[in-house]
Every structure is written in C-alpha cells, then in structure tokens.
Amino acid sequence: MISAKDILEKVASGEMTPEEAELQLKMKPFVDLGFAKPDLHRGLRQGVPEVIYGEGKTPEQIDKITASLLEGGQETVLITRVSAEKAAALTTPVKYYDVARIGVAGKIPEPSAKGTIVVATGGTSDLPVAEEAAVTAELLGNKVERVYDVGVSGLHRLLAQKDKLMSASVIIAVAGMEGALASVIGGLVDCPVIAVPTSVGYGASFEGLTALLAMMNSCASGVTVVNIDNGFGAGYSASMINHIGG
C-alpha cells in the first residue's frame, strides 16, 4: 500500500490522474468476503496480524478467512475459541492446542522479544483461560513461563515461585472466585500485571463478575484488567508490552 503523500506526488508528476488518486485513497485495505472483511493491513497498522475469533463461525468461514489472510501475505494466522471438532473440520492445515482451544495456520514464530511473560493461575479450573493467554503469547513471539495453581489460600505455593515472578517482564494473573491473586502478585513484583478474571466459581461469583470487580479495585498499583475469560486479550497485550523491551 502506498502512502497518501506518494499518491499526491504521483498526481503532481502526472503519473496518476486525480480520479485514480481518489480511488487509491479510498481503496479498501481489506478483503470483502461478504460475511466478513478480513483486515490485510493490521500487521502494518498494529504490528500484529489479524486474528480470527472462531466462536460462531463455521469451518467454511474460517477456512475462507484464513486463506484470504495467508494469500494477503500474513505468515501466521491464529484462530481462537475454536473447539476440537471445529478444528478437525477445517481443510486448512492447523496445529491445534486443545486446552487453549487455539488453532494456528502457517508458520509458528520464534520468540522475538527478550523478556519472559509469566502466566499464573489461582486454581486448576483456570487452566483453559491461562493456556489461551500463554499460547497466544507464544504464537506472537514470546517466551512464556507457566506458574499454575498458586491461589492465595495457600500462600506458600505462590511465595515458592517468587523468583520466577520477580524475573518476569510482564505477568498475567488468571483467577476466578475472589480474584485476589492479582493483588497479591501486584504487591510482590515491579513489572506490569494483567489480570484476567475467570468465570470459575459458583453462586455469588456471578460467572466472573466478582473477580472482575475485585481485580478492578486491586489495592496494588500496576494492575490492569481485561474481560472475563479473555485469555487472548491478556496474551496479546502482554506481548505488546514485552516487545517494547526489544
């Protein structure tokens, strides 16, 4: 895609008519598949390629969007929230991560950032969300360390991992119920903490709302929050932050 200034210079030099230029300026940097408009230029614009949210899309739709992205030059295509059944029904070859429910087409990238992202969970039930975060971060070029089942009700399990936490570049704290993990980690470390509330719990956990609100009100500074069960968003933001460090 050429820049606006380039276009204007071509007009000035007569290489392009004003009509052509106007057309170029309006040219859509996306493919229009009718049911969807995959964004071919996200890589340029945001440094991270377009990701397909698999929930509610048919295997055929996913295949078509994946194809259009690969053809558009994107090297790696992540497909999130895709069940094992749906992944199996794709004609595109994908590597599938079953706990994370993520499929990936194209090239698996090498780590491209120096730092390490730590993904911590309060309990065993938080694993699917934690893995969505961890695999997303890995596929966006990050080293990832997993520290699972270290909920605050058995503080020694968390403190035993203090070294890993202290050496992280970014930490993703994944927890349901009362979500206290984010505050405790936030108070221990000097790096950004991204809190992911999960829908783990029952009764007054309100499917993750309690954890979300608790994380929002963390008494520890340096904690920011993403949507309930949004492992992908946490992994994506953590990757952005981790890449700032080179």
Give me the least distance between CB of 48 and a copy of itself, in Å please. Answer: 7
Give me the least distance between CB of 74 and a copy of itself, in Å please. Answer: 14
Torsions phi, psi of 223, nearest 5?
-105, 125
Structure tokens at 77: 């295509």
> Of the two residues 105 and 195, which places its CB atom closer to a copy of itself in the complex?
195
Give me the least distance between CB of 59 and a copy of itself, in Å please. Answer: 14
Find the helix or strand (DSSP H, E) in which 186 lies: helix 181-188
Give me the least distance between CB of 207 and a copy of itself, in Å please. Answer: 8
Q: Is 190 helix (H, G, I), strand (E, B) or coil?
A: coil
> Of the two residues 87 and 234, which places its CB atom closer to a copy of itself in the complex?
234
Angle 21-24-27 (CA atoms, 0-180°, nearest 5)?
A: 155
Find the helix or strand (DSSP H, E) in which 173 lies: strand 170-175
> Of the two residues 103 and 151, which places its CB atom closer to a copy of itself in the complex?
151
Token pair 């993750």 in the structure block, residue: 208
Give me the least distance between CB of 177 and a copy of itself, in Å please. Answer: 4
Question: Contact at 8 Å (CB) between 172 and 238?
Answer: yes
> Of the two residues 93 and 153, which places its CB atom closer to a copy of itself in the complex?
153
> Of the two residues 87 and 152, which places its CB atom closer to a copy of itself in the complex?
152
How many other C-beta atoms are found inside a 10 Å radius of the C-beta of residue 108? 11
Angle 58-109-192 (CA atoms, 0-180°, nearest 5)?
A: 95
> Of the two residues 106 and 122, which places its CB atom closer to a copy of itself in the complex?
122
Give me the least distance between CB of 87 and a copy of itself, in Å please. Answer: 19
Structure tokens at 31: 């493919």
Range list of β-strands (E), 13-167: 52-53, 76-80, 95-97, 102-106, 116-121, 143-147
